[in-house]
Amino acid sequence: MCINDEIFKLYPPSWLYVRRTLKEIILAAEKDGEEVSDGLYELHAIYLLPPQDGSSELASKCYKTFTYTVPPKSRSYLACQTDSKKFLEEDEQLVTLRVSSNMLEGGTGCSTWPAGLLLSEFVLSHPELFFGKNCLEVGAGTGMVGVLLARIGTGKIMLTDGSLATLANLKNNLSINNVEVEEAQQANSDLNTHSSTRVECRQLTWETLFDKERNLDCNVILGADLIYDPLNIPPLVNLLASLLPVGRPIRTNGLEQNVYEYPVAFIASAIRNPDTLVYFVETVRKAGLKMAEVGETMRPAICLTGISDLDRSTILIHKIQAWKD
């Protein structure tokens, strides 16, 4: 933790997080017999008191800054894609997110979730699946995946969530990370109109799909940590069953062929209750979609650094497609 870092000053983590981290550092140093500087003790003493600006140490909004590296294979791929040069400028890169430290404010979408972090690593590990594609994220939450898609250089990116509070926070996070967002369109406007800006945020509630949303122009659908509540599963699967069979003719040299490309969904899920996962798998199969876990060779590389508490082994990524063989 670099307390004098500009990022830290602009986007501070929660007071309690800093206090705990300083304590851990001091305890670890003392245990190893290292000399702890007076400055560190003094800083810890400051964080033992409530914040001086009068805000609560349990302030509901704070910032999390993630560092990540782009795996060498992804770098080589992206180096050939002119749009993505910026993505490769620095070895270690940052994503800063405003999050809620209190689930009651802003809903689940204002926190980061393990499956969202693993899906972020999947995007960084497999840019070839997303580059130049129109991507739709459902239940986009804090926008971590959206920021990375924008940096990779996908086609159009549509970030959606059912919660308006989450969407407001998501837009703020895109702005923090210099991702330009297209102004919100009217709820009943045509989602397939082309515009110069690539990133759009809009409310999309799985239970209330409009006809236009059944025909979204997307190549890839992404989602993370969406299947924690069994009640959410039928509407989510219904959404996938509406969008995945919508094929688009493949164009070569600007000419349409009689060959169609169908969208693919990548859904990352942390396994908390195995019955909920079984129910999800059954519902997907009953909807006539095919579903498989991404194979070992496709498992993401470890790209996010400094998050030792992320247990990647408990998170699955499923690839879901319409039966079109």
Ligand X SMILES: C[S@@+](CC[C@H](N)C(=O)[O-])C[C@H]1O[C@@H](n2cnc3c(N)ncnc32)[C@H](O)[C@@H]1O
CB of 257 to ligand X, least distance (A): 35
- Indicate whether 177 belongs to the interface with ligand X (CB under 6 A): no
Q: Which two tokens stand for residue 36?
A: 């702890």
Q: How far, CA to CA in Å, does 25 sit from each of 11, 18, 69, 282?
A: 21, 11, 24, 47
173 touches ligand X by CB under 6 A: no
Q: Does 106 bind ligand X (CB under 6 A)?
A: no
Burial of 193 (0-12, 13-18, 19+ CB in 10 A): exposed
Q: Report the residue from 71, 74, 84, 116 that binds ligand X according to the rule CB under 6 A.
A: 116
Measured CA distances, 175 to 41, 63, 99, 124 (Å): 36, 14, 14, 20
In the complex with ligand X, the residue whose CB is nearer, 127 or 162, is 162
Per the structure block, which two tokens stand in for 172?
A: 């703020």
Under the binding rule (CB under 6 A), the answer on residue 100 touching ligand X is no
> Distance of CA 186 to CAs 9, 32, 202, 203, 218, Å?
37, 60, 9, 10, 19
Chain-centre distance for alpha carbon 275: 25
Q: Does 13 bind ligand X (CB under 6 A)?
A: no
Which residues in the 209-268 window bind ligand X by CB under 6 A? 224-226, 232, 235
Note whether 283 binds ligand X by CB under 6 A: no
Three-class DSSP labels, 15-69 = HHHHHHHHHHHHHHHHHCCCCCCHHHHHHHHHHHCCCCCCCCCCCCEEEEEEEEE
Q: Does 161 bind ligand X (CB under 6 A)?
A: yes
129 near ligand X, judged by CB under 6 A: no
- The binding track of 179-208 with respect to ligand X, each residue x by CB under 6 A or -, is --------------------------xxx-
Check binding of 107 to ligand X (CB under 6 A): yes
Please state, in angstroms and rounded to a whole number, the distance separating the CA atoms of residues 223 and 317. 10
- Choose the binding region for ligand X from 43-51, 113-121, 194-202, 315-323 (rule: CB under 6 A): 113-121
Helix (H) or strand (E) holding 169: helix 164-176
58: number of CA atoms within 13 Å, CB side?
4
Closer residue to ligand X, CB minimum distance, 116 or 127? 116
> Minimal distance in Å, beta carbon 142 to ligand X?
6
Q: Total residues contacting ligand X (rule CB under 6 A)?
A: 23
Least distance (Å) from ligand X to the CB of residue 143? 9
Q: Please give the residue ranges that form the binding site for ligand X (CB under 6 A).
A: 107-109, 112-113, 115-116, 139-142, 161-163, 166, 205-207, 224-226, 232, 235
